[in-house]
Each structure stands twice: as structure tokens, then as C-alpha cells.
Chains A and B, each alone.
Chain A
Amino acid sequence: EAQVTQNPRYLITVTGKKLTVTCSQNMNHEYMSWYRQDPGLGLRQIYYSMNVEVTDKGDVPEGYKVSRKEKRNFPLILESPSPNQTSLYFCASRGQGAVLDEQYFGPGTRLTVT
């Protein structure tokens, strides 16, 4: 089954404690991205990657890091989480064939930083 998986699905942590949210897709997609979703603000892109070893900032990259060492994986790293990073996070992927290729979303990770 074609899918994007994320782990963990729920996470409560404390300020300053480094964490990583994993994302993996099994569709051999080149393009992957991370979004955060907050009430009233919609989905905002954090980082994206056009292919292995190619990453770029989205609209709200501050406080986040990513890496793309393998095509299937695109982890999101919060080196020193803060309460304003409490949010619902989605990983997404799509093929590079056309801009209009459907984007597949992971199930989401609900992060709370206290």
C-alpha cells in the first residue's frame, strides 16, 4: 500500500530537549516536505526536499532542521524545542513528474512542548 508514515504520532516533551520526528514514504517520490498546522493559520511549509541531499527552507524554517540522506526518509529535527513549536505536523511526498502530481500526506504528529 502506497503510504507516508510518521513517528511518533503523539509526543509531549519539555523545552530544550532535542527530538526527531521520522517520515518515510514507499512510493519512490523525489519531493518531500514538512508542514505545521495551527488553528487559524492553515498548513505552513517548514522545509522541503527535491531529492536526496537537496533541502530548502519553506515559509517557517526557524527552529527546525531536516536531512535527506535517503530517498524514502525525511526526518524533522527540533534541536531545542520551545512551546511555540507546539503544533500538528505533517510530512508529505509527491513525484517529481509534474507540478500537479498529487501530494500524499502522512497521518500527522501532534507535538506538545511544555
Chain B
Amino acid sequence: GQNIDQPTEMTATEGAIVQINCTYQTSGFNGLFWYQQHAGEAPTFLSYNVLDGLEEKGRFSSFLSRSKGYSYLLLKELQMKDSASYLCAVISDKLIFGTGTRLQVFP
């Protein structure tokens, strides 16, 4: 079967750093995406990883370990507007989404 696991909810404080983990078990692997989704809105692309290691993009970084079936999204200098759901998605023979992690940032 194909399975992607993420924590359901996380909370953090403005200005802090938060790490959102994603583990996956899929029949194949061609890459991993992270999307941000504000309530009631469309997902928007944040990052993707194909090879092992860290990809940095401003305040957001994403890490991948293919041997461990593991990725994380790191958000630095948290802002209130970062309160959203974060979706991990794996490309095997198709794009498979996790159920998302709802992040709440408090002042």
C-alpha cells in the first residue's frame, strides 16, 4: 500500500522555528513536494526534493532521506501568516498527498 504520515496539528510561537515531519511508504519514489494551504484556499507550492539532503528557500527548508522514507519542512522566524496546513506529497506513479499538518502560530 501507499502511506504518508504527518502529525495532525502543531503549535508554535511567533519568531520561533518549527519542524514538520513526514514519513512515507510508497511503491515507488520520484520526488517529494511540500505545499502550504490556508483554510479554504488552494494549496500553493513550497518546495520539492529529489535527492537526499537539505533544500533551502528563504525562511523555508526541506530535507529528504530516501533510505529512511523521511522528510521534514523547517520554518524559521515564524510569522502569524504561517498559520496554515502543510501538505507532504510524494510522487510515485502519481502524486499522493498526506493528510496535512495544521500549524497554529501564536503571538
A contact set with B: CB distance below 8 Å: 35, 40-45, 48, 58, 88, 90, 99-100, 102-103, 105-108, 110
* Bound-complex Cα distance A58 to B93 (A): 11
Q: Which of A40, A102, A108 contacts B45 (CB 8 A)?
A: A102
- Whether the pair A99, B45 counts as a contact (CB closer than 8 A) is no
Is B21 part of the contact surface with A, judged by Cβ < 8 Å? no
- Whether the pair A105, B30 counts as a contact (CB closer than 8 A) is no
- Whether the pair A43, B97 counts as a contact (CB closer than 8 A) is yes
- Number of A-B residue pairs having CB atoms within 8 Å of each other in the complex: 43
Which chain B residues (16-40) contact chain A, with CB distance < 8 Å?
30-31, 33, 40
* In the A-B complex, the 7 residue pairs with the closest CB atoms: A42-B99, A105-B42, A43-B97, A42-B97, A102-B45, A100-B31, A99-B30
- Whether the pair A103, B95 counts as a contact (CB closer than 8 A) is yes
- Whether the pair B50, A107 counts as a contact (CB closer than 8 A) is no
- For residue A110, which residues in chain B have a CB less than 8 angstroms away from its CB? 40
- Whether the pair B94, A42 counts as a contact (CB closer than 8 A) is no
- Whether the pair B99, A40 counts as a contact (CB closer than 8 A) is yes
* Bound-complex Cα distance A69 to B30 (A): 30
- Whether the pair A90, B42 counts as a contact (CB closer than 8 A) is yes
* Bound-complex Cα distance A48 to B93 (A): 13
